[in-house]
């Protein structure tokens, strides 16, 4: 289900909290809700708290657009002491 939040005037943590509660309540009754037409300020705040994939969703990227995972290898020097 899509919910248009284009008329939300205040982009603050209380707003994000209300959207998150609505999302959880929808999940509890077996449906999904996605918020559409969020203002740039609201989108930034939702992303800041890490809920952008959940609340507003991101368009799926094509395989060639996905970031490649980076493998980090750690090397230990023989005379390094453990901290």
Taking the C-alpha atoms of residue 3 and residue 37, their distance in angstroms, rounded to an integer, is 9
Cβ pair 46, 18 in contact under 8 A: no
Query: Whole-model pTM above 0.75?
Result: no
- 44/81: higher pLDDT: 44
Q: Report DSSP letters for 1-54, one per residue.
A: -EEE-TT----SHHHHHHHHHHHHHHHHTT---EEES--HHHHHHHHHTT-HHH
Q: Tell me the three state secondary structure of residue 65.
A: helix
Q: Is the pLDDT of residue 8 over 50?
A: yes
Q: Any idea where the domains of the chain sit in the sequence?
A: 2-57
Mean pLDDT of the chain: 79
Report how far residue 26's alpha carbon sits from residue 34's, in angstroms, rounded to the nearest whole number. Answer: 10
**23-27, 33-37, 53-57, range with the lowest pLDDT:** 53-57
* Gap between the Cα atoms of 10 and 39, Å rounded: 10
């Amino acid at each position: 289900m899509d919910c248009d939040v284009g008329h939300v005037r205040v982009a603050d943590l209380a707003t994000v909290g209300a959207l998150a509660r609505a999302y959880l309540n929808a999940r509890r009754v077996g449906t999904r809700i996605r918020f559409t037409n969020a203002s740039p300020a609201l989108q930034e705040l939702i992303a800041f708290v890490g809920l952008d994939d959940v609340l507003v969703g991101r368009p799926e990227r094509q395989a060639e657009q996905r970031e490649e995972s980076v493998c980090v290898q750690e090397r230990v020097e023989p005379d390094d002491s453990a901290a």
